[in-house]
Amino acid sequence: MIDSRRVFSMSCDLFPSLGTKGMVNMPSTCRSLLDPNGMAMRRVPWGALTAACQVLLGSVQAHQEGQTLTLECQDKHGGRQVIRVEQGQSNFSWVNAGTTVRPYLLILGEALIFGKHPELQERWQGLLETMKDVRLPLARIQLSNLSAQEPVKDAMCKVLDTLYTVGKLEGAYRVESEAALPAPARYEHTPLLWGGTVKRAAADPLSPESVLARRVGRGVRALLCGPTGCGKTELDKRVALQTGARLVSIKGRPGLEDRDMIGFISPTVQGPQWMDGPLARAWRLAQGGERVVLLVDELLRLDAYHRNVLIGGLDDVNAEELEALTGQAHPAGRYYTLELPGAGEVLYASTSLLSVICTTNVGGSYTQSGEIDPALLRRFQRTLFLEYPEAADILPVYRQACAPAAEVAYSLEVVTRSSTTADGQLLERPMNIGVTLNYLAEVQDLLDMGMLLRAALEAALLVTVVPFCCAMTQAGTPDEAGINMLKVKLQAECQQRKVA
């Protein structure tokens, strides 16, 4: 439920022409027509202002599915929070609405995506009209500068008065609940918040994501191959989320021990007890009837011994063979088995409930411990080759990290893919999704400090992209020629997009 006292007592420094906190009056001309009996003097509702500014800054992402709208926004600690509004026959219900900012985000979603609250729609469109000469979402310094323009300030006050009034008149009638909500795979409806449109594309039934999601419902052994940082691990996580499966992960690395992979016997007050590692945990969950995705990340960083453990684990047996191992009868079907070393226990998992998805990088700039044994390769039912995601798929993620810099960062990432020593160029390795996200996070921090966008892009390059992409000299510093190449390519991208 909206806490009006906190809405007016909190602070907001995103739209400084209205101030940052306290009792600040808005012009009487901005008053909403929805509440003719309300007080003539209206003050700035700082919670509503924060919500409106977060939308304009690209800090709010939207995904609609039928009568459900999911938003991802900032929480008060700077993290991410997933909230939801569901449209019923006679009312809306809110999930994780909070009391100060998030209720107004949900009301904006009701207006801009569900088409409710006509006055709010009209006033929001009026606000966007005053900003038609700039591209949304805005950088923080852009919004700060725009707030000083009287038409923008006046339009914002109109939005705030209507937004607050809708919350006052209707907020108490929302059915509210709290829940741990999963984030959608995509936020393709975000442009609707800025007056844009949604590009709709049919899901490709042959895409790696579609193939995996379809097969995980019946159990699958799959190998994902692709360049480092192309999103293989995130794809596995999305598939687990889509199918409602429990995700258990093993990260391949040199020196991995049995206890890190299978489990170990631990001394306790009650005597020695077996403690499950990731492999045993996945088997045990599936044995208990849960659908499980076991993700073995960077398979080739496991040593040969632990890859052979997987070979044994992925040999399936029938119910009669399983009965011979466990001494118990089991329903007809195929099962994976896992013997716990030293514990005298054999775990089993139906092949229809346990999916094993392994990832491996291609290229030479990472540590491997050999090639995949043909015996293991034969056990994979699907081998999928991934490329870097298309711009339409990854740019929404980058905009969420730092909307003003997303296009420049993505273009720079693409350019570096053909600028490595393997291509006769100077970079040791190209940027990938993780590096680009780190780059954008640093740019956003610098923008929040008041730095101009181009200066922030140049400064962030040196502490995120350069250390990853450039070879190191014997003195332990990044190669100067590689640094200069990155600077030149960044300058070209900035000039092309007229970034100041």
Let me know whether 234 and 254 are in one domain.
Answer: yes
The pLDDT of 403-422, averaged and rounded, is 91
In the predicted structure, residue 33 carries a pLDDT above the cut 60: yes
Of 235-239, 277-281, 478-482, where does mean pLDDT reach its minimum? 235-239
Let me know whether 398 and 379 are in one domain.
Answer: no
Q: Domain range for residue 26? A: 4-194
Let me know whether 435 and 322 are in one domain.
Answer: no
- pLDDT tier for residue 369 given thresholds of 50, 70 and 90: very low
Closest CA to 132 of 104, 159, 151, 111: 151
481's enclosing H/E stretch is helix 480-496
* CATH code (residue 252): 3.40.50.300
pLDDT at residue 366, as a whole number: 47
Let me know whether 147 and 279 are in one domain.
Answer: no
Q: Considering the domain boundaries, does residue 201 fall inside one?
A: no
Let me know whether 75 and 175 are in one domain.
Answer: yes
Evaluate whether 220 touches 357 at the Cβ level (below 8 Å): yes
Let me know whether 60 and 154 are in one domain.
Answer: yes
| Percentage of residues in the chain having pLDDT higher than 70 | 95
In the predicted structure, residue 458 carries a pLDDT above the cut 80: yes
Domain closes at, from 135, 170, 194: 194
pLDDT at residue 363, as a whole number: 57
Q: Considering the domain boundaries, does residue 144 fall inside one?
A: yes
Q: CA distances (Å), 162 to each of 48, 118, 131, 167, 386, in order?
A: 10, 10, 19, 9, 48
Domain closes at, from 165, 194, 223: 194
- Total count of domains within the chain: 3
The pLDDT of 283-304, averaged and rounded, is 91
Domain closes at, from 194, 222, 255: 194
Question: How confident is the prediction for the chain on average, in pLDDT?
Answer: 89
Q: Considering the domain boundaries, does residue 202 fall inside one?
A: no
* Bridge partners (DSSP) listed for residue 86: 68, 93
Q: Which amino acid is at 50?
A: T
- Give the torsion through C-alpha atoms of 175, 178, 180, 182, to 10 deg: 20
Let me know whether 42 and 188 are in one domain.
Answer: yes
Of 239-243, 287-291, 479-483, where does mean pLDDT reach its minimum? 239-243
Q: Considering the domain boundaries, does residue 203 fall inside one?
A: no
Of 136-140, 315-319, 458-462, where does mean pLDDT reach its minimum? 136-140
pLDDT at residue 282, as a whole number: 96
Write out the two tokens for 290: 């849960």
- pLDDT tier for residue 361 given thresholds of 50, 70 and 90: confident
- pLDDT tier for residue 39 given thresholds of 50, 70 and 90: low
Q: What is the DSSP string of 188-228?
A: TTGGGGGT---------TTSHHHHHHHHHTT--EEEEEEET
The pLDDT of 3-10, averaged and rounded, is 93
Burial degree of 47 (CB within 10 A; 0-12, 13-18, 19+) = buried
- pLDDT tier for residue 367 given thresholds of 50, 70 and 90: very low
Half-sphere exposure in the Cβ direction for 308 (13 Å, CA):
4
CA 335-249-188 angle, to 5 degrees, is 110
Closest CA to 140 of 213, 200, 59, 194: 59
pLDDT at residue 473, as a whole number: 93
Of 136-145, 149-158, 419-428, where does mean pLDDT reach its minimum? 136-145
Q: Considering the domain boundaries, does residue 142 fall inside one?
A: yes
Let me know whether 491 and 375 are in one domain.
Answer: no
- Any idea which residue has 């966007």 for tokens? 128
Report how many helices (DSSP H) and strands (DSSP E) the chain contains, helices first.
19, 17
pLDDT at residue 60, as a whole number: 92
Distance between CA atoms of 350 and 354, rounded to whole angstroms?
A: 6
Write out the two tokens for 472: 């190191």
Let me know whether 355 and 478 are in one domain.
Answer: no
In the predicted structure, residue 202 carries a pLDDT above the cut 60: no
Q: Which amino acid is at 150?
A: E
Q: Considering the domain boundaries, does residue 438 fall inside one?
A: yes
Q: Which amino acid is at 66?
A: G
Of 251-255, 289-293, 379-383, 389-393, where does mean pLDDT reach its minimum? 389-393
Q: Is the pTM of this model over 0.75?
A: no
Of 9-18, 104-113, 160-169, 207-216, where does mean pLDDT reach its minimum? 207-216
Cβ neighbors of 295 (< 8 A, separation 6 or more) are 233, 236, 237, 240, 247, 248, 249, 250, 357, 358, 359
Closest CA to 294 of 303, 306, 304, 284: 284
In the predicted structure, residue 460 carries a pLDDT above the cut 60: yes
In the predicted structure, residue 150 carries a pLDDT above the cut 80: yes
Let me know whether 306 and 176 are in one domain.
Answer: no
**Phi and psi torsions of 25, nearest 5°:** -80, 145
Q: Considering the domain boundaries, does residue 200 fall inside one?
A: no
- Any idea which residue has 């693409």 for tokens? 414
Q: Considering the domain boundaries, does residue 188 fall inside one?
A: yes
pLDDT (tens digit per residue) in 115-133 = 999 999 999 999 999 998 8
pLDDT at residue 200, as a whole number: 52
Let me know whether 269 and 416 are in one domain.
Answer: no
Let me know whether 48 and 94 are in one domain.
Answer: yes
